[in-house]
Chains A and B, each alone.
Chain A
Amino acid sequence: MPNQGFMMLHALFGILGILFAVALFVDVLNAHEGNYRRIKKLSSAVAILIVLAFLIGGYWYVAYYGADREIIKAGKWPWAHNYFMEVKEHIFFSLLLLSIYLPIAVHGVMPLNNTKKKNLILGICALIILLGLFMEGAGGIISKGVIMGLGR
């Protein structure tokens, strides 16, 4: 049961991180003095949520994934581990570093009074969103790989 709980929390914090990054993207597109505080708060929230997703997912991966890996590799979708988990677990580091850097960048370029500064934050948000969506998709494929391995 803790196995499933950790997995659900990992996916939940990941999705929330992506959604907050989308909200930040929109806020930066419409940046003005009135929403600078919210932009700073959103950037910190993205970092916290992705770090939580990383820590919980990392713990689950090290503590529980071994059994699932054997089921996937013996099943009909071994590539769910051989490709998607291998790629996911390593690209996650880039997502983590981008997310940790996001609030540093936001605080460092304030006020967002020119296009170059806005584009930096928008670009980082876009990378976080795209990598995050890949993480969610790959996670779904890996879960389906376990189901296929169990023959359900």
Chain B
Amino acid sequence: MNNSDMGKYAAGFGLSLVVTVLLNAVILVIKEISTPFMSAMKAALGHHWTTHGALLIIVFIVLGCLFSATRIEDKLDSGKLLKYTFWAVFISVVIIAGFFLPGLNVAATIKY
């Protein structure tokens, strides 16, 4: 029985979005603290950012197809998905913006 108010692709790719948005922040932290990982990302597609983006898009599509095929729409409604999406984006933004905070050393660069 379908308890969902969403189609299978909206549910499957929605859950994939949640996972991929969080994965974005995880990849960022790993590549910034691990020189071998950063070097491997640079070597893969010529630039770490290109590899990072390509990886996320591939994961989003693959997970979206997988979740869509597992009747995830029976367990997920649009209310839950909105909540998961909001928290995933919020957590990801906090991790990314927080990770680079030391770079925001404005006071040290002001010439008095």
Contacts and interface: CB of A to CB of B under 8 A. Distances in A.
B102 to A, nearest CB: 8
Given A104-B9, A114-B5, A120-B81, A98 B89 contact: yes
Interface residues of B, number: 44
A64 interface: no
Main secondary structure of the interface of B (DSSP, over half): helix
Chain A's interface size range is: 35 or more
A75 B88 CA distance: 35
A97 B56 contact: yes
A76 B100 contact: no
Interface in B53-91: 53, 56-57, 60, 77-79, 81-82, 85-86, 89
A62 B11 CA distance: 34
A35 interface: no
A83 B100 contact: yes
Contact of A83 (B21, B47, B103, B111): B103
A124 B82 CA distance: 8
